[in-house]
Amino acid sequence: MRVAASATQNPFFFVYPKPDENGKILKRWLLFPFNLHYKFINGAITLHTPLPSSSLFLMGTHSSSSSFSALQSYLQALAQTPRRLASRAPSVSSSYEELSRVKARSGSDMQRTLRWFDLVGLGIGGMVGAGVFVTTGRASRLYAGPAIVVSYAIAGLCALLSAFCYTEFAVHIPVAGGAFSYLRITFGEFAAFLTGANLITEYVMSNAAVSRGLTSYMGAAMGVSTTKWRFILPLLPNGFNEIDLVAPAIVLILTLIICYSTRESSVVNMILTTLHILFIAFVILMGLWKGDWNNFTHPGNPQHPSGFFPYGASGVFNGAAMVYLSYIGYDAVSTMAEEVRDPVKDIPIGVSGSVIIVTILYCLMAASMSMLLPYDMIDVEAPFSAAFSGRSEWVARVIGVGASFGILTSLLVAMLGQARYMCVIGRSNVVPAWFARVHPKTSTPVNASAFLVTWQILLR
């Protein structure tokens, strides 16, 4: 039997053989690699798969000459692999191919249901996580001092310039691949592969780490010990034997939401993001009310540098480099371009608008914290909670609640983005085409979502 995949199909797509008279599919596949040979047709790689006619091939009844010929074919194909990789690595795609032939490999289309306000909500939810409650204090104490406000403004400007680039690409190439698709068109498949692999690894690892801290923030918000929410497996080594079921359960719920519908996922994100911003606004107002303007220029220890720029311009830029990590997340908005009703209008407003709003929020949070305490007395581990500890103890719980909402929104947006990256990588045949499938009923990449979330839960 001969199975061929044409140039318009996945070159790594295999048609599984039907059971032979003995039902020994396993035996036929054990030597499957030795029966591969390739040839070029019109510049495209076509895969031919001659399979033995019976499971007796492995039982010694197949001729030795046929086996030797199959082995020779396999070795010849293996020897040609470097040349084929070298020819494919620099090959570039086009925007037309990405929007037509490549996109069609998903089977069904993603529905265009999102508007600009959905993208703004997704951008804010993806950027404003729990990390800002820690990063602000560390950058202020070690690098910028009260000028952390300026550091956030500089970092926000840099993020906005980068967002303009994402916006330009997303408008011209409104597909779900984000940076992977942009690089595949401009620099070739190898550069896109490296970027896609790094992005998927980053998303899965960071989501696993963030979800691990979700239980702790929820416990802090409720004022209870989280040890009651975990159980110990004595068979595992210390440090790896604590099993937390709360965070995986929440991650599974978020997975069901993003697999059910992108529109409903946006609604859930909008609700969680609104609650999160309300808590942040409360913290900002409390800081401005309880704070002291003198803390902007006077350190707690007179021997330390004073003034609004205690570490000079270098400290401001070092602080900006550190807090720039707080803006990571707006790139996930570009992966939703395939589901936006009017990409030309909605994407620029959504991406750029979310970065501008987040920059304002971060600057106000930094000003609030700088007023609460002198920069040299800020706790680098929990700056906001420690700042309120001697004034309003209950505010610390409010911060825990806000951080919990921030984790939920950042997880939701990141899980949406990682699934769409994996889906488009599957379309390009870099990974199996199974990941590229879009469910016809939900119009979401269910396969990619399920696979990545499984690893996310296992790694945490």
- Model confidence band, residue 306 (pLDDT cutoffs 50, 70, 90): confident
In three-state secondary structure terms, 242 is strand
Q: What is the pLDDT of residue 47?
A: 38
Q: If we measure between CA atoms, which residue out of 276, 451, 435, 425 comes closest to residue 365?
A: 276
Confidence of residue 390 (pLDDT cuts 50, 70, 90): low
- At residue 25, the pLDDT reads 41
Give the whole-number percent of the chain exceeding pLDDT 70.
82
* Cβ 243 vs Cβ 233: under 8 Å: yes
Question: By mean pLDDT, which of 104-118, 200-214, 386-400 is the weakest?
Answer: 386-400
Contact residues for 8 (Cβ-Cβ < 8 A; gap 6+): 101
Question: Quick check: 59 pLDDT over 50?
Answer: no
Return the higher-pLDDT residue of 46 and 260: 260
Q: What is the mean pLDDT of residues 431-436?
A: 89
pLDDT of 392 higher than 80: no
Residue with the larger pLDDT of the pair 60 and 422: 422
Residue entry with tokens 């690089």: 183
pLDDT at 239: 65
CATH number of 106-459: 1.20.1740.10
Render pLDDT for 286-297 as a digit per residue (tens, 0 to 9).
Answer: 888 888 888 888
Tokens of 88: 């494919």
What is the token pair recorded at 330? 């707006």
- Of 105, 110, 130, 146, the C-alpha closest to 376 is 146
The pLDDT tens digits for 188-228 are 888 999 999 999 998 998 888 888 777 777 777 777 776 77
Task: Dump pLDDT digits (tens) for 7-56.
Answer: 444 443 333 344 444 444 434 434 444 343 333 333 333 333 444 433 43
Supply the pLDDT for residue 342.
Answer: 92
pLDDT of residue 18: 43
Beta strands in 42-96 (DSSP E): 44-48
Mean pLDDT of the chain: 80
Q: Dump pLDDT digits (tens) for 331-344.
A: 889 899 999 999 99
Q: What is the mean pLDDT of residues 390-413?
A: 79
Which range among 69-78, 98-107, 345-354, 355-364 shows the weakest confidence by mean pLDDT? 69-78
Q: Where are the domains of the chain?
A: 4-88, 106-459
Q: For 47-61, 111-125, 166-180, which range has the lowest pLDDT when averaged over its residues?
A: 47-61
Q: What whole-number percentage of the chain has pLDDT above 90?
A: 36
Q: What is the average per-residue pLDDT within 180-192?
A: 90
Q: Distance between CA atoms of 153 and 361, rounded to whole angstroms?
A: 10
Q: In the structure, what pLDDT confidence band is assigned to residue 393 with cuts at 50, 70 and 90?
A: low
Burial class (CB in 10 A: 0-12, 13-18, 19+), 54: middle
Rounded CA-CA distance 108/131 in Å is 37
- Is pLDDT above 60 for 358? yes
Q: What is the CA radius of gyration of the chain?
A: 27
